Chain A
């Protein structure tokens, strides 16, 4: 090859490497951006009057006088809507039977859509389901519901060769010439007055219980469950892991048995997480029965086995990084081996061990598969600390799965799903950030 081409190839090669790094960074950005952006909207959003009603009635929060004032304003803005509907009902009664029948179903559709948007009509009985007692609590959802009120969706199958196409028809066309006709324009023009949107900072999203399977309220049971599971896993895994690392570094003589143990540790690290879940079910629940049903205890035990290899490895690394001189000085002063470990080696290795522990905490908090069969339930109240021994709990990772695949109103609670993912990712990344900072401090210290 000619020299120029070789140089060009060299540059191109470097370019490929840089591109791969860039692709990785872009992938990270692409994944994190929607989670952070839409997740933060679970906390900061335009809340309507209905949100403040929910807060006041379900969570005892807010200023009742101010709310009554706003509520009266909203009711005044809504009054013409209900007047128009009453007028139309009267008009319908006066129609002949055939025409009345024709209008009845579309009118009920409008009525239902309006109930979803604004909440139950005045004078109506209080609905049984909590979600039907209130209108839309978020301005963005209110706009979606407004659209559903203004337009009806129909499938167009006129082209027999292609799949059906969804077309939207303005409902106003159907009601032209009736008392209901001005309603649609009125809704479009006066929605802000009817809903009173206000920028809301709902930081209690994390600490509120959920009401009516996450339609209202926050995610406290899940957050608490995740905290319990993580701390439980650490309680079991830290002593075991650190002691094992001490033994492997300071006491064990390299030989068949030790290398076998090392192979087992790396095997354990490679076991798929779902297999840990099955093992937890078969061993902790079905065989030794740590609890009658799924429980936080069983889940914590399973998770602790999952993170054990990580803790052993990182602790080992930290212990090996302690300069030999420390150990030799301590032994030379006549301290026993155990004494040396406790008073010299462990304190010196502590920052490194802590880094590993913090990283595995993040891992334990985010793992889903091991807790599916051992600890997690979809709906539940926050547990008291002693209940963790015998009862299952909701947990962030499991409920994220549950809410976005099995919930009956998946699209209505997107903000809750994003909020949960955001909270989980934030917890895990904060833990990792702490670990990264700790490591930076350690390496600075080692460099002097």
Chain B
């Protein structure tokens, strides 16, 4: 009787071993499935590299990276991809110029300025911006925005200047004016100084903006599908990434820092600019990097609306000319190259994909390291 009770409460060695083995086996299967993403990453690198190497073997590196003639279907074929790299860089740069200031301002606003209720409304707006499929953005860029830009380019540019630079110049005027007033305090009465300094600075900045917008309104855009169009749309697409990552970073800076700064008598703006942003600068950097990756890896918008001309714009920063990017080249040329699998024309696209892959891999690593380090620094 007592023996029986014993066996039912304490497992026999065999049963215990069996259970341990089955649990280990189960864990092994789980581990295998988990490591699937690791295997995938290795496979992606391997298969892209496998088809990229034949190109570098037969054509070498020099032509691909340094020359400017891109005629993959000519005879002899020429594979100078420099214009395509420049195009990618230009478009990405434009997207950063749009997305980073706007994104950081918006994330500051979300994390420090808006009350909770309003934030609950704004967050879905960002999520919707992130959710809209890239082909819909591309369609908008090609069918709606490009004709607008082509027909009313000057007007759009000059209003854009007013909208974007107007507030910034107003701020600048105030800051500069105040600094000047500090300097003039000893020589003049403050009232006189105020009535002189601010009107002069205001008129100057107004005149500057006016001239700039007048010049821009005369610009004629020969084709609406150009780097500017794509940059703006890509910037909008990268915004949600920048905002959400930067906002996380700003939130992570914590209450103590903010309250400490307020206690010293700083205003909210001073707290954010002088304390919070420096404290979370690494997270913001990570946000910028992720935004760059989003812009560089985007295919449909650039394919549809960048004009696809493999030329370096003249001068190189001319955003009003059509450009071509790596992603668009891969997407556009593979259709034709597919029939001649094994040719240089086929492999060059894998070489481009490898460049993209390597770049995004490095960027990703950097952002991971930055985030990890900043977490350590903030003690979390």
Chain A hits for B35, CB < 8 A: 261
B36 and A244 within 8 A (CB): yes
Main secondary structure of the interface of A (DSSP, over half): helix
Tell whether A275 pairs with B48 under 8 Å between CB atoms, given A8-B174, A404-B304: yes
Closest to B101 in A: A20
The count of chain A contact residues (Cβ–Cβ below 8 Å) is 92
B21 interface residue, CB < 8 Å from A? no
Q: How far is the CA of A369 from the CA of B38 in the complex (A)?
A: 22
Q: Say which one of A79-87, A132-140, A179-187, A263-271 lies at the interface with B.
A: A263-271
State the CA gap A105–B142 with chains docked (Å). 36
* Contact yes or no, A31 B140, CB < 8 A: yes
Within B122-175, the residues touching A (CB, 8 Å) are 122, 124-129, 131-140, 142-144, 167, 170-171, 174-175
User: Looking at the complex, which one of B126, B143, B341 makes contact with A404 (CB distance below 8 Å)?
Assistant: B143
Q: How far is the CB of B325 from chain A (nearest CB, A)?
A: 10
Q: Which of A34, A239, A247 contacts B144 (CB 8 A)?
A: A34
CA A21 – CA B123 in complex, angstroms?
A: 10
For the complex, give the distance between the alpha carbons of A10 and B269 in Å: 5
- Render B325-338 as a binary contact track against A, CB cut-off 8 A, 1 for contact: 00100110011001
- Residue A409 at the B interface, CB < 8 A? no
Which A316-338 residues have a C-beta within 8 angstroms of B?
A: 336-338
User: Which A residues are CB-close (under 8 A) to B227?
Assistant: none
Query: B2-10, B24-32, B54-62, B65-73: which one contacts chain A?
Result: B24-32
Set of chain A residues within 8 Å of B23, measured between Cβ atoms = 336-338
Asked whether B109 lies within 8 Å of A282 as measured between CB atoms, the reply is no
Tell whether A19 pairs with B135 under 8 Å between CB atoms, given A251-B27, A275-B357, A404-B142.
Answer: no
Instruction: Among A17, A267, A312, A417, point to the contact of B109 (Cβ < 8 A).
Output: A17
Does A165 sit within 8 A of B, measured CB to CB? Answer: no
Kindly name the residue among A7, A15, A264, A265 whose own CB sees the greatest number of chain B CB atoms within 10 A: A264
Complex formed: what's the CA distance from A13 to B277 in Å? Answer: 14
Among A17, A23, A283, A424, the one with the most B-chain Cβ atoms within 10 Å of its Cβ is A17
| Contact status A263-B357, CB under 8 Å | no
Interface status of B34 (Cβ within 8 A of chain A) = yes
Whether the Cβ atoms of B133 and A397 lie closer than 8 Å is yes
By a CB distance below 8 angstroms, the chain A residues around B43 are 279, 283
> Is there a chain B Cβ closer than 8 Å to A115's Cβ?
no
Q: Which residues of B contact A263 (CB under 8 A)?
A: 365, 368
Within 8 A of A (CB), among B102-124: 102-103, 105-106, 108-110, 113-114, 122, 124
Determine the chain A residues whose CB is within 8 A of the CB of B30 once the complex forms: 243, 246-247, 251
Chain B residues closer than 8 Å to A244, beta-carbon distance: 33-34, 36-37
Q: Which of B127, B136, B171 is in CB contact (< 8 Å) with A400?
A: B136
Does A192 interact with chain B (Cβ within 8 Å)?
no
A424 touches B136 (CB 8 A): yes
Checking B50, B140, B178, B356 against A2 with a beta-carbon cut-off of 8 angstroms, the contacting residue is B178
Judge whether A365 and B133 touch: CB under 8 Å. yes
Residue A372 CB within 8 A of the other chain: yes
List residues of B (244-267) whose CB comes within 8 Å of A's CBs: 267
Q: Which listed residue, B37, B137, B341, touches A268 by the CB 8 Å rule?
A: B37
Distance between B152 CB and nearest chain A CB, rounded to angstroms: 14
A274 in contact with B356 given A19-B167, A287-B47 (CB within 8 Å): yes
Chain A CB within 8 A of B40 CB: yes
Q: Are B135 and A24 in contact (CB under 8 A)?
A: no
- Is B86 an interface position by the 8 A CB rule? no
Within 8 A of A (CB), among B289-317: 290, 293, 296-300, 303-304
Residues of A within 8 A of B (CB): 1-2, 5-10, 12-21, 23-25, 27-28, 31-32, 34-35, 239-240, 243-244, 246-248, 251-252, 260-261, 263-268, 270-279, 281-283, 286-287, 305, 308-309, 312, 336-338, 359, 362-363, 365-369, 372-373, 397-398, 400-401, 404-405, 414, 417, 421, 424-425, 428-429, 431-432, 436
Residues of B in contact with A (beta carbons under 8 Å apart)? 23, 26-27, 30-31, 33-38, 40-41, 43-44, 47-48, 50-51, 101-103, 105-106, 108-110, 113-114, 122, 124-129, 131-140, 142-144, 167, 170-171, 174-175, 178-179, 181-182, 236, 239, 243, 267-270, 272-273, 290, 293, 296-300, 303-304, 327, 330-331, 334-335, 338, 341, 349-350, 353, 356-357, 360-361, 363-365, 368
Ordered by A's residue number, 20 sampled pairs between the chains whose C-beta atoms are within 8 Å are A9-B267, A12-B167, A243-B33, A247-B34, A251-B31, A261-B35, A267-B364, A270-B290, A272-B293, A272-B298, A276-B44, A278-B330, A278-B334, A308-B40, A366-B136, A372-B335, A373-B338, A401-B138, A428-B131, A429-B128
